[in-house]
Structure 1
Amino acid sequence: MTRILVIEDDPIIGEMLTLYLNEEQFTVQRVETARDGFQALFSFAPDVILLDLILPDAQGPELCAEFRRQTDLPLIVISMKTAVADRIQAISAGADDYLVKPFSMQELKVRIGAVLRRSQAASAPRRLQEAETSAGQAESTGITLDLERRTLLRDGKSVETTFSEYEIMKLFVEHPGKVYTREELINAVRGIDSFVNDRAIDVHVTNLRRKLEDNPKQPQYIKTVWGVGYKFVR
């Protein structure tokens, strides 16, 4: 049974989420502080995290970034903030999805399913075999993937990535030379039923270039195809 960690200090919203998710056959633990949330990562061992970014002991994108440093589990932000800038900040900090309160419980269930599909697909045996083959083809660039540890490597050294950055890079390495539109990257990372926009993809690519390229302003590996999208060059 899928385990959901709800980190939400509002008692009404927290109770509503807990009741609904229990009815949908999820196992749920709810906590009200960031500190308790970090502890629950180990004591509860969730499959998905629902995170409110305004908690009594921490708030903002930095909170999201700290959870991402602690785990690569699918992370969905639930927030009252509606501005596009807030969404971009959260996703750039490591969130895999963003829901604005109040939201449909059915939509929440769909988005949980979407992030789980992306996470589970990463460890599927067939995908593992394909990615290992493609990773070997990409060795000329020094960029490889360790699928078992979900780690991106540059010249044998681990490169820290968010969940979404890793998924984008895995897609690139599996299909070197293929041009991907931003819409295709959105769908590959999160699924068509989950929120993310073109700007967020650009942010992820910019971050990957900073981590992988010798000169991010003149990228050698992750190329922009003007008017279309991006491609990975070995």
Structure 2
Amino acid sequence: MRPHLALIEDEPDFALMCRSYLERAGFTVTWAMDARAGNAVLHESRVDLAILDLGLPDGSGLELLRALRSTSRLPVIVVSGRSAEADRVAGLEIGADDYLVKPFSQRELVARIHAVLRRSQPPDVPTVIQAGSLLVDTAARRASVGGAVLTLRPKEFALLELLAAAPGRVFSAEQLLERIWGSSWQQSATVIEHVYRLRGKLAALPAPAPRITTVRGFGYRLDP
């Protein structure tokens, strides 16, 4: 899909030039001429990155950036004729991901956009975890051993996924409650029950399966 950019810029000639170049470079561009229209685009459309001018006719681009940063981590590149160090520092401290001083080349703008989008992407996480003969497909929410699929309840799958992602590591009951149930105030019996059921399902498989080992006084680990 083409990345969607919000171009918030009040100079029509400059904005039209930028939009034309960026669209040819493979982006979808929505142009807003002032802070009010820009705010609407940012909150009503699915935008991947904003290009924000500081000198807007109905307000400061810095104020728009400050308001955006209170609710969102959307990547923002500030473009401005203000080249003073204080202006650049202010923009970056408020939360701009980059600051580009006019005039600049369109090629440089495209390069900066690609760089900021790369930095904003979450790290690649493997969708399949392997621990010995156990395969856990996190995208399909499926676990199998030697081709035999395990029938798991959501919390059982989450428990197996967590243990399989770090085989040999011991997790305490409190850690498991916090990571899987989202709280540590529940009784440790909740973990004990789920470990018991998961052990039974692993043991019932026709192929040799990893086992969940109790480390007395510490917690549980998966041994491939």
TM-score (structure 1 length as normaliser): 0.52
1:30 maps to what in 2? Answer: 31
The reply on whether 1:125 has 2:121 as its aligned counterpart is no
Structure ranking higher in helix proportion: 1
Measured after TM superposition, the shift of residue 60 of structure 1 is 5.0
Measured after TM superposition, the shift of residue 123 of structure 1 is 4.8
Measured after TM superposition, the shift of residue 63 of structure 1 is 2.8
Measured in 1, the distance between the counterparts of 2:14 and 2:47 equals 19
Alignment length, in residue pairs?
A: 131
Contact in 1 for aligned 2:4/2:27 (Cα 8 Å):
yes
Unmatched tracts of structure 2, length 5 or more: 130-161, 166-224
Contact in 1 for aligned 2:7/2:32 (Cα 8 Å):
yes
Provide, for residues 3-33 of structure 1, a one-character-per-residue CA deviation record: whole Å limited to 9, x for no partner: 0100001111111111001111100000011
Measured in 1, the distance between the counterparts of 2:102 and 2:21 equals 15
Equivalent residues in 2 for 1:182-221 (5 A)? none
Equivalent residues in 2 for 1:9-28 (5 A)? 9-28=10-29
Counterpart of 2:37 in 1: which secondary structure?
Answer: helix
Contact in 2 for aligned 1:62/1:93 (Cα 8 Å):
no
Contact in 2 for aligned 1:53/1:64 (Cα 8 Å):
no
Measured after TM superposition, the shift of residue 124 of structure 1 is 2.7
Measured after TM superposition, the shift of residue 39 of structure 1 is 1.0
Cα RMSD of the aligned pairs, angstroms, is 2.5
Measured after TM superposition, the shift of residue 110 of structure 1 is 0.7
Contact in 2 for aligned 1:48/1:75 (Cα 8 Å):
yes
TM-score (structure 2 length as normaliser): 0.54
Provide, for residues 37-90 of structure 1, a one-character-per-residue CA deviation record: whole Å limited to 9, x for no partner: 111123321101000011111115333211222321110000000111111100
Measured in 1, the distance between the counterparts of 2:35 and 2:124 equals 32
2:86 maps to what in 1? Answer: 85
AA aligned opposite 1:7 = I
User: Aligned residues: percent identity?
Assistant: 44
Measured after TM superposition, the shift of residue 36 of structure 1 is 1.1
AA aligned opposite 1:124 = D
Structure 1 stretches of at least 4 aligned residues deviating more than 4 Å after TM superposition: none
